[in-house]
Amino acid sequence: MDRRTFTIGLGAVAGSPLLASLSAAAQGAWPQQAVRIIVPFPAGGSADVLPRIVAEVLGTIWKQPIIIENRTGAGGNIGAEHVALAKPDGYTLMSSPPPPLAVNQNLYPKLGFDPTKFKPITVLATSPNVVGVSNKLGVNNVKELIAKAKANPGKLNVANQGNGSTSHLTAAMFESRAGVELNHVPYRGTAPALNDLVAGHVDLFFDNISSSLPQHLGGNMKILAVAQKERASQLPDVPTVSEAGLPGFSAIAWFAVVAPEGTPDDIIAKINKDIVAALNNPEVRRKYLEQAATPVANSPAEALTFIQNETKLWGEVIRVANVKLAN
């Protein structure tokens, strides 16, 4: 057989269904190795706890280790850029609250990644923000908080999870709606901000209910109001911010899982199917509800639409409240 004949024959075999099936069999079904889920915020907060709960079930389904890796900094941008540059094979994912997915493009002059290029897999959960105050502040409701802030312009220290976080933007929305001026104190995540609120080093914190609820129930700080349209089932006696005097005030935290651009659709579908199954697991749902987080478990298309809508919402908040990054 001459070289030309051999080459043509090899090409014919290479394009055959038989070789394709052999190749697929050799590669095996996904996953064949450990899966990393990057959380671009520190350990201890809801952004870290919620994917860990799901990962326990995914490890059983996939029969592979699930590694939760915290890559923090720059409002979630460092972890997000790492994921954006990762090989799009499904073995590096990101679980994140809004900042690097729906907020930071409206705050930072330049990002090392394009948030719109991530491939959404599902929204894990939503959780309302709450108005939390230090016991040392000496206020018992939102009306008293606004009065104290107006009497001390720029002197009340409001913690946030980092520049561009939902807690930062919710505080900015509160300033705009209530006509007050607060001193913003950014932290690297929920846990250190909440710790300082409990210790009385800061005066208030627009945290998500998942993290603040145990501290409130333990008497370590006070939740004055819930920032959603209806009262929280975990705190039926605590009013909404709207009921407390700022009509229409609503701000929720959410947590979504995404993959790098170029990740094959069949892998996205597989991951979605298994995460949705995990979120529908009664034990997982119980643990989420204990965290005051409502499981969502939507499709990739629904997650994409949700993130796009949230991007528009927070972009408008940033514009109206004239939010700027701290120097």
pLDDT digits (tens, 9 = 90+) for 31-72: 999 999 999 998 988 899 999 999 999 999 999 999 999 999
Are 112 and 192 within one domain? no
Are 97 and 134 within one domain? no
Residue at 7 is within a domain: no
Handedness of CA 89, 91, 94, 95 (dihedral sign): positive
Look up the CATH number of the domain holding residue 35.
3.40.190.150
How many Cβ atoms are within 10 Å of 240's Cβ, its own excluded?
A: 22
Are 209 and 138 within one domain? yes
Domain boundary among 227, 243, 270: 227
Look up the CATH number of the domain holding residue 176.
3.40.190.10
Residue at 209 is within a domain: yes
- Whether the link from the prior residue into 42 is cis, omega within 30° of 0, is no
Residue at 23 is within a domain: no
CB 126 within 8 A of CB 293: yes
Are 49 and 112 within one domain? yes
Cβ within 8 Å of residue 34, ≥6 positions away: 64, 65, 66, 67, 91
Average pLDDT, the chain: 90
What value does the mean pLDDT take over residues 210-228?
Answer: 94
Are 58 and 95 within one domain? yes
Segments of 61-100 assigned E as strands: 66-70, 92-96
DSSP 5-65: HHHHHHHHHHTSHHHHHHHHHHH-SSPSS-EEEEESS-TTSHHHHHHHHHHHHHHHHHTS-
State yes or no: pLDDT of 238 exceeds 60: yes
Are 121 and 159 within one domain? no
* Predicted pLDDT of residue 19: 40
Residue at 204 is within a domain: yes
Full-model pTM: 0.79
For 77, the domain range is 31-127+253-321
State yes or no: pLDDT of 287 exceeds 50: yes
Domain boundary among 192, 227, 262: 227
* Predicted pLDDT of residue 11: 40
Residue at 19 is within a domain: no
Please state the domain count of the chain.
2
